[in-house]
Amino acid sequence: MTNYIIDLQLFASEEKTEKPTSKKRKESREKGQVLQSRELTSAFLLIFAFLSLKIFGQYMVDNLSNYTISILSDHSIYKSLYTVDNLSIFFMTMIIITAKIIAPIIGTVVIVAVLISYLQVGFLFSTKSLSMKISRINPLEGFKKIFSTKSLVELVKSSVKIFIIGYVVSLYIYNNLNKVYELFNMTVKEIATNIGSLTFGIAIRSGAILFILAIFDYWYQWWQHEKNLKMTKQEVKQEHKQSDGDPLIKSKIKEKQRQIAMRRMMQDVPSADVIITNPTHYAVAIKYNKDKYEAPYIVAKGQDLIAQKIKEVAKDSNVTIVENKLLARSLYSSCEVGDVIPEKMYQAVAEVLAYVFSLNT
C-alpha cells in the first residue's frame, strides 16, 4: 500500500499581507466601509450637549417658567378647550413653544453630529450597506457575530467605560455629599440650580473620560480598518490585471500590432527611392516626395533580420541599395518610420539621392 504525504498548507487560504490599493480603498468606501469611531462622536455629543445646556439653560428655564405661569394664570384658556378645534390649537402651540425652548440643544447636537461625522468620513452616500443580505437574517451568522472577536472587543470597551465612569461619578458625588445634603434646606429654585450644577459636573467629567477612551478607540478602529482592507498577493496581481490588462494578452496584442506595422512597412519598401545599408546590420528606406514633405522621409527601417528582409524586398522591386555605414546607422538611431530626416543629414542624404537619380536617368 502506497502512503501519500499531503501538505495541508496547500489548502490554506493565502495570508493578507499587502497594503490596500487605492482601488480597494475606493471600493470599500463605496460599500460604506469607512474609518469611523462611534465613541468619538458620542463623547463630543455629550460634551457639547451639556455645554449648550449650560449656556442656554437660563434661557430655557425662563421661557418654560413664563409659559407655565401664563397658562396657569389665564383661566380663559381652560374655558376655550372644550372644543376640538381649540384643543388642537392649544396642543400645537405647546409643541411650537416646546420646540423653541429645546431648539438650542437640539441644534447644537445636530451640528456637532454632522461635523464630527464629516471630519471622520467626509461626504459619503452609499446604499450598498443598506442592501438586503440573506446572511443578516441567518441565525448561525447571528451567533457568529455575537461570539466574534469584534463583539468581545465591544464588550470589553463597554465594561471599561462603565467601570471608569462609574468610579469617577461616584467619587464626584462622594466629594459633593455636603451639597446633596444641603438640597433639603433649599428652595425649589435653589434645588434646581444646584442639581443642574452637579449634573453638569458629572456630564463634563463623563465626557472627558469618553473623549480619552475615544482616542484609543479611534486608533483601534484605524488599525482594524487597515487590517480588514489588507489584500493577498494574488488579489493585488488580479487587480493589476483588471486595471492594466492581462500581461499575456497585452503582449499578444503588441506582437500583433508589430506584425501589422511590419507588414505595412514592407509594403512601402517598393515605393522607396533608395535603401541605405550598413550593409549587414542596418537598412533604411528613404523616399523623397516634394508634394508630401519638403525633405526626404523614412518609409521603412530595420536591424539584422528585418534589414535583410528590407533588402530582399528592395531587390525584388528594383529599388537601388546604397551602402553607407555611418549614414545608415545615424538614420536608424535618430529617425522613426514616417519621420522627415534631420536637417543635419540633408547634405549626406541629398548626395545619395542625387547619385540614385543619376542612375535612373
Is pLDDT at 201 greater than 80 in this prediction?
A: yes
| pLDDT value, residue 76 | 58
| Across 147-176, average pLDDT | 83
Least confident residue range of 25-39, 158-172, 262-276? 25-39
For residue 31, what pLDDT is reported?
77
Q: State the Cα–Cα distance between residues 14 and 12, nearest whole angstrom.
A: 6
**pLDDT band (50, 70, 90) for residue 244:** low
Mean pLDDT score of the chain, rounded to an integer? Answer: 79
Q: Does residue 191 or residue 133 have the better pLDDT?
A: 191
Is residue 114 within 8 A of residue 108, CB to CB? The reply is no
**Pairwise CA distance, residues 63 & 65, whole Å:** 5
Q: What is the mean pLDDT of residues 346-353?
A: 87
Collapsing DSSP states into helix, strand and coil, what is residue 7?
A: coil
Task: Pick the range with the lowest mean pLDDT from 143-152, 201-210, 272-281.
Answer: 143-152
Strand 320-323, strand 274-277: pairing: parallel
Is residue 141 pLDDT above 60, yes or no?
no
Helix (H) / strand (E) containing 285: strand 282-287
Neighbours of 48 (CB within 10 A): 19
How big is the chain by its Cα radius of gyration, in Å?
Answer: 42
Instruction: Specify the residue for cell string 534589414.
Output: 307
Length of the chain: 361
Q: Residue 136: is its pLDDT beyond 60? A: no
Instruction: Give the chain's domains with CATH numbers.
Output: 27-127+135-230 (no CATH), 258-360 (3.40.1690.10)
Report pLDDT for 91. 77
Residue 290 burial (10 A CB sphere; 0-12, 13-18, 19+) = exposed
User: Given this model, what pLDDT does residue 82 score?
Assistant: 55
Q: Which of 344, 339, 230 is nearest to 293 (CA)?
A: 339
Q: Answer yes or no: is pLDDT of 263 > 70.
A: yes
Residues 72-127: pLDDT tens digits? 666 555 555 556 666 677 778 788 888 888 888 888 889 998 898 888 877 766 66
Separation of alpha carbons 123 and 27, rounded Å:
15
Evaluate whether 327 touches 349 at the Cβ level (below 8 Å).
Answer: yes
Give residue 14's pLDDT: 64
Once rounded to an integer, what is the mean pLDDT over residues 267-284? Answer: 87
pLDDT tens for 303-338 read 888 888 988 988 888 888 888 888 888 888 888 888
**What band does 4 get if pLDDT is binned at 50, 70 and 90?**
very low
pLDDT tens digits, one per residue of 18-77:
788 777 788 788 777 788 888 888 888 888 888 888 888 778 877 777 777 776 666 555
Residue 142 has pLDDT above 80, yes or no: no
What are the residues facing 323 on neighbouring strands?
277
Helix (H) or strand (E) holding 113: helix 84-121
